[in-house]
Amino acid sequence: MSDERNFRSAYYEKVGCKNVEERKSLEILLKEKVLDRVKLKQFCVRYNVPSAFRSLVWNICLGVLPVHTECHAFIVDQRKQEYNDLVRALNVMKIVDNNTPKPKVLYAAFLLQSNALKFETSFQTSRGFCEIVQFLMPYYKEDAELYWLAKGFYYCVHSFDHDLPKLIEAVSNLLEKEEPIVYKHLKAKEALDNLPYESCFESCYAKIMNYPTLAKIWDKLAGGSCSIFVYVFLCLLMHLKHSILKCMTQKKYSNV
């Protein structure tokens, strides 16, 4: 059987159907009563998650849902009740109302739940939370589900905060190797250290890329890999190569 599977996998790959075996592997993992979060994360890092399974896989990998599938219905109900309680409290305190944009409502709920909400809190900067919500909104109709998943991605992203200097250095090193002209230009204009690394990483590129592409990047993030951010940032710089080379001052780089 092992030889047969190996032969079949090689054949599928040759004819461009590599994801057939990957999908079957994921289906097998998801049939277990007790899911293996480690293996699911490994799958996310190695492959693209099929869209039909993406929501469930993300929720498991980010810890929104437990690995015991028989508990899922109960946990979803409890999460929904908790979210509704948070929003009700925000309305009573008159921090939000029916006219408050949904990303700000969810961010306020997050601050309240994490004991970080203050009456003078400004919702202008959310360190990527509102951007993550904005990106997910078209694909999740239930506000409670949207809230918990956005919170999961937010915590996942900021678990890599201590790696930010290394990620920036990696971008610089790869740019010097792959696009030395762009690297030298940015270095000469003293712009290399002032590129919007942090805002791009915090928002998971939500303000820059569309769903099909970005969802595949978020698969890697859900799997626990932050190195994908380096390669995405590098690709963006390479894509914008001609525009970057036309910029003569640091201020103009922000408009590229």
* Cβ(136)–Cβ(146) below 8 Å: yes
Task: Determine the pLDDT at residue 120.
Answer: 67
Q: In this predicted model, what pLDDT tens digit does every residue of 25-37 receive, in sequence order? A: 899 999 998 999 9
Contacts 24+ apart (CB under 8 A), 26-34: 26/50, 26/53, 26/57, 27/53, 30/56, 30/57, 32/69, 33/68, 33/69, 33/70, 34/67, 34/68, 34/69
Q: Is pLDDT larger for residue 225 or for residue 73?
A: 73
Task: Determine the pLDDT at residue 19.
Answer: 55
pLDDT band at 228, cuts 50/70/90?
A: confident
Q: In this predicted model, what pLDDT tens digit does every residue of 5-48 receive, in sequence order? A: 444 444 444 544 455 578 888 999 999 989 999 999 999 999 98
Q: How far apart are CA 57 and CA 29, in angstroms?
A: 10
Task: Determine the pLDDT at residue 4.
Answer: 43
Q: How far apart are CA 175 and CA 80, in angstroms?
A: 45
What domains can be seen in the chain, in order of their start residue?
2-51 (1.10.10), 69-158 (1.10.8.680), 161-253 (1.10.472.80)
> For the whole model, what pTM was predicted?
0.81
Task: Determine the pLDDT at residue 20.
Answer: 53
* Cβ(129)–Cβ(110) below 8 Å: yes
Q: In this predicted model, what pLDDT tens digit does every residue of 107-147 receive, in sequence order? A: 999 999 998 888 766 667 788 899 999 999 988 889 999 99
Q: In this predicted model, what pLDDT tens digit does every residue of 142-198 receive, in sequence order? A: 999 999 999 999 999 998 888 888 999 999 999 889 888 988 888 888 888 888 888
Does 256 have pLDDT greater than 60? no
Output the six-digit token pair for 82: 């908790």
Q: In this predicted model, what pLDDT tens digit does every residue of 57-93 receive, in sequence order? A: 999 999 999 999 999 999 999 999 999 999 999 999 9
* Cβ(59)–Cβ(146) below 8 Å: no
- Considering just the CA atoms, what is the radius of gyration of the chain in Å? 21
Task: Determine the pLDDT at residue 11.
Answer: 45
